[in-house]
Amino acid sequence: MVDVITVLLLSILAGLLGSLVGLGGSLITTPALVALGVPVKYAIAAGMVTIIATSSGSASSYVREKIVNVKAAMFLEMFTIVGAIAGASVTSIVPAKLLYFFFAAFLLTSFVGIGRRGREEVPQAVNQDGLARWLQLEGSYHDKSLGKDVNYKLTRPALGGAGMFVAGIAAGMLGIGAGAFKVSIHELILKMPSKVSTTTSSFIIGMTALAGASVYIFSGLLYLDLAAPMMIGTTLGAFLGGRSLNRIRSSTLHRLFLVVVLLVMVEMLYKGVTA
């Protein structure tokens, strides 16, 4: 079995790698711990708590800069927290073997992020539907790279809410943020500008994680001596990764991303088959 120092170092490495390739939270830490012999349900429960720290920490500055759309986040959280509670409850009762396959399948959605690149930064001429207008789903932020204030409007919140419910189930079940999935819903359905979408997703993930953690904390799956070093290590690693992001070429990151996702998928499938 592992010791606290190993979990801490592994979490720093996973947090660093995760933030470099755009996979946040526990999508790397959980499989890495499983590879060291930690039962998958314990790793998922500790991962869920860890995500509260990583996402809340990274979202705080974007909230202050008013890039996060707080109203859209509050509306979408109604759906994602209910999904997370349902998902975490499922994990508490299903056989661990199934979770390996769900985890591997969910990793496929992280490839959606690649297809997203190169799409327009701010969607133009968005026609708001009635519910979006009623919910006042619009906003503005200062875009430093474009050098101007950007005004935008969102649409189709009901469909977006349904998508966020599904994202919440996946997040709660697997103890992850499901960030790539959430960002896709924001951009493809609600027509959020790219910067608003990624930062609002981080903001929402903290709340989704609390909802999932509310189930895990008393399901008998959360061990504090695993969660504590994982939480400190992943947050520290993500912080270090964020600082070194600009120094690495994006083509190198792209290859690294593919290798990491494939390795993690193969490991989880192997575990699922041999469990």
Partner 1 sequence: MRVRGRDLETIISYILTIGVLVSLAVEGVGLGYYATTESLQVDFTSRWQTSGNDFFAYAWGTLLSLGEGATPLSLIALGIVLLMVTPYLRVLASVVYFTVERNPKYALISLFVLSVLTISLKAH
User: Minimal CA–CA distance to 209: which of 77, 98, 117, 101?
Assistant: 77
Q: Which of 132, 170, 213, 268 binds partner 1 (CB under 8 A)?
A: 213
Interaction of residue 66 with partner 1, rule CB under 8 A: yes
Does 158 help bind partner 1 (rule: CB under 8 A)?
no
59 binds partner 1 (CB under 8 A): yes
Residue 71 touches partner 1, criterion: CB under 8 A: yes
State the amino acid at position 97 in one-letter form.
K
Of 59-67, 105-113, 114-122, 159-167, the window that binds partner 1 (rule: CB under 8 A) is 59-67
Q: Does 44 bind partner 1 (CB under 8 A)?
A: no
CA 51 – CA 182 distance, rounded (Å): 15
Between CA 72 and CA 155 the distance in angstroms is: 10
Query: What is the nearest approach in angstroms of partner 1 to the Cβ of residue 42?
Result: 7
Where b means 16+ CB within 10 Å and e means fewer, 202-236 reads bbbbbbbbbbbbbbbbeeebbeeebbbbbbbbbbb
The interface region with partner 1, picked from 14-22, 69-77, 111-119, 125-133 by CB under 8 A, is 69-77
Smallest distance, partner 1 to C-beta of residue 254, A: 30
| Residue closer to partner 1 (CB basis): 54 or 184 | 54
Token duo for residue 23 = 């996979």
Residue 171: which residues within 8 A CB-CB, separation 6 or more?
80, 83, 84, 87, 177, 178, 205, 208, 209, 212
Site mask for partner 1 (CB under 8 A), range 7-26, x = bound = xx------------------
- Select from 58, 31, 10 the least CA-distant residue to 179: 58
CB of 64 to partner 1, least distance (A): 4
Q: Which residues contact 128 (CB under 8 A, 6 or more apart)?
A: 137, 138, 153, 154, 155
Residues that bind partner 1 (CB under 8 A): 1-5, 7-8, 38-39, 42, 49, 52-53, 56-57, 59-61, 63-64, 66, 68, 70-71, 74-75, 77-78, 81-82, 85, 134-136, 206-207, 209-211, 213-215, 217-220, 222-229, 231-232, 235
